[in-house]
Amino acid sequence: MATPAREFAGYVQAGGEASGAPWADATLTKVDDEVAILVNETEVARLSSPIVTDTGANDVFLIEGADEPLFFRPRDPDAFRAAVLPPQTTAEKIAAATAASATAQDATMIMDTVPEPEPVAEGEGEVVTEPEGTSSRLWWVLAAVAALLIILLVAFCGGDGEVATTSNTTTTTTLAGSTTTAPGATTTLLPATTTTAAPTTTTAPVTTTTAPATATTAASTTTSPLPDPAFGAGTHMVGEDVQPGIYETGIVEGPFGCYWERLSGLSGEIDDIIANGNVAGHDVVEIMAEDTAFGTDCDSWYDLTERDPLLTTIPEGKWALDTHIVPGTYQAPGGDSCYWERLSGLSGTADDVIANDLPEGQAIVEIDPTDVAFNSIGCGEWIPA
């Protein structure tokens, strides 16, 4: 029996935006060369050797191989991208970087117009093969340098105490292909010197009076410390290793977060998963009495603890109303990867979702007093609107 890889929670849409189909809470699992897609805990598709393409927009991936194209938006796009897509070759990385930068393209075009230097013959003495027309241009350059040296000599050696004033003019000459320097000759580029008569300024003494600095420190907001962890990473039997109840993580940092799953069995098959999720910032989950086990790679889970005082802003992750946060209207910076959902429960299943959205730009939501929890990913911190 094949062992499934780590499941990826996210949202799936059939046919794309033009189809008008809604985004559905889904779980995608890669099993050997097959990809299984579950919606509302029911397997809706199993694809053999599907083609997965990163669309490059809003962390949405195109999955081809079903009757119609499927679009999948994982909650942890970086982990999904690393697990499913093959690593880019060096040539592909160079091509992607070139396509993304108009400046890089322009620079490449300019470089392509410059002919490469002709080869230098080895042997007694050096024979430099010049491009056609280089010799005549070289004599003009040498003549210009000689004239410049004569002018500088006259300027610095003016007689009878006279001061010679020379206006500096910078001339830049570029030789296509190669540069030839006479043996033993030393060329020194003299930086242009600008002499400015300093104006005489008389300034009255300034008396500065500085008021004593007053330091004002905003009062810090304290919250109730979390108790000792109830359990940590591993698979825990419900009723023995862990009791039914509502648990929360601490603040989980890092790009990949951690993972949890409620299980109805221990076979390791997809059908055993009741609900699962990837933790982004913070999470709250209710373990039911009918669950067989709870599996996680998160370091610490705590009994749900009321914040005192309640949070006035909402950080990343899932937070319980009247335990962590208060209802009201909130706004967040949002962005291309922003997702939020209002929840009626903490089971982790799609049935808990009252409403959700994938806003573009600034996000605004009204959290109702009857809601049980609020969850957001990639939106930034929510503040009262």
pLDDT tens track for 264-273 = 999 999 999 9
pLDDT band at 165 (very low <50, low <70, confident <90, very high): very low
Query: How much is the pLDDT for 293?
Result: 98
Q: How many CB atoms lie within 10 A of CB 20?
A: 8
| CB 45, CB 70: distance < 8 Å | yes
Assessment of whether the complete model's pTM goes beyond 0.75: no
Nearest one of 129, 193, 188 to 167, comparing CA atoms: 193
Please, what sign has the CA dihedral across residues 127, 133, 136, 137? negative
Mean per-residue pLDDT for 223-244? 91
| CB 350, CB 24: distance < 8 Å | yes
Mean pLDDT estimate for the chain: 73
pLDDT in tens, 362-381: 999 999 999 999 999 999 99
pLDDT in tens, 289-304: 999 999 999 999 999 9
Q: Report the alpha-carbon distance of residue 24 to residue 13 in Å, rounded.
A: 6
Mean per-residue pLDDT for 12-16? 82
| CB 252, CB 279: distance < 8 Å | yes
pLDDT above 60 for 209: no
pLDDT above 90 for 197: no
The residue among 315 and 38 whose pLDDT is bigger is 315
pLDDT above 60 for 113: no
Q: For strand 293-296 and strand 234-237, is the pairing parallel, antiparallel, or unpaired?
A: antiparallel
Cα angle 327, 227, 317 (rounded to 5 degrees) comes to 40
Four-point Cα dihedral 10, 24, 314, 225, nearest 10: -60
Q: Read out DSSP for 108-156?
A: HHHHHTSPPPPPPBPSSS-B--PPTTHHHHHHHHHHHHHHHHHHHHHHH
Q: Report the alpha-carbon distance of residue 23 to residue 40 in Å, rounded.
A: 12
Q: Report the alpha-carbon distance of residue 305 to residue 308 in Å, rounded.
A: 9
- Long-range interactions of 242-245: CB distance < 8 A, separation 24+: 242/287, 242/294, 243/287, 244/287, 244/288, 244/289, 244/291, 245/286, 245/287, 245/303, 245/304
Nearest one of 143, 144, 152, 142 to 190, comparing CA atoms: 152
**Two structure tokens written together for 206:** 């300034």
pLDDT above 50 for 222: no
Q: For strand 8-14 and strand 328-332, is the pairing parallel, antiparallel, or unpaired?
A: unpaired
Query: How much is the pLDDT for 1?
Result: 42
pLDDT in tens, 52-89: 888 877 788 888 887 788 888 888 888 777 777 655 55
pLDDT above 50 for 305: yes
Residues in the chain: 385
pLDDT band at 256 (very low <50, low <70, confident <90, very high): low
Q: Give the whole-number percent of the chain exceeding pLDDT 90.
A: 37
Q: Give the whole-number percent of the chain exceeding pLDDT 70.
A: 60
Query: How much is the pLDDT for 268?
Result: 92
pLDDT above 60 for 5: no
pLDDT above 90 for 344: yes
Query: How much is the pLDDT for 90?
Result: 52
